[in-house]
Copies of this chain bind each other. A is one copy, B any other.
Amino acid sequence: MATISKGQNLVTLVNVFTVEPEDQQRLADALVEATENVMKHKPGYVSANIHKSFDGTRVVNYAQWRSREDFEAVIENPAPEVAGHLREAEKLGVPDVRLYEVAFSDGAPRE
């Protein structure tokens, strides 16, 4: 579970993969595996949320990190297990990864 709000002192990573529909599930599975096996154990990890588009052509990872520095430490000069997961995902889809700040958040809290 993750919470989006403007007040949190976090950075948001949005990685939009463009994918062939026949590879969508495998890519989603690869990102889940990378999260469970590697990313969630790194300092500064807060959340990861993997989404599949109904049209089959996108997989989105909406993730949160404590700081840009924490995320960049994982991605730049990646350890072999990180590099392996990145290569696996990039075999299945074309990523567009960027870091964001929350400018506005509106909605009712839900259980």
Which residues of A approach B to under 8 Å, CB–CB?
1-5, 8, 11-12, 14, 16, 28, 31-32, 35-36, 40, 46-55, 57-58, 60, 62, 64, 68, 96, 98-111
4 shortest A-B CB distances, which residue pairs? A47-B107, A51-B100, A50-B104, A2-B107
Number of copies: 2
Task: Report B-chain residues with C-beta under 8 Å of the C-beta of A1.
Answer: 3-5, 105-109
Name the one of B60, B64, B104 contacting A48, with C-beta atoms under 8 angstroms: B104
8 Å CB contact of A4 from B35, B49, B52, B109: B49
The CA-CA distance from A13 to B71 in the complex, in Å, is 25
Checking B28, B98, B105 against A2 with a beta-carbon cut-off of 8 angstroms, the contacting residue is B105
Q: Provided the pairs A14-B16, A54-B99 are in contact, do residues A107 and B60 lie with their beta carbons within 8 angstroms?
A: no
User: Once the chains are docked, how many angstroms separate the CA of A99 from the CA of B40?
Assistant: 26
Pick the residue among B46, B49, B107 that contacts A49 (CB under 8 A).
B107
Chain B residues with CB below 8 A from A51, complex form = 12, 14, 100-103
| Bound: A12/B62 CA distance, A | 11
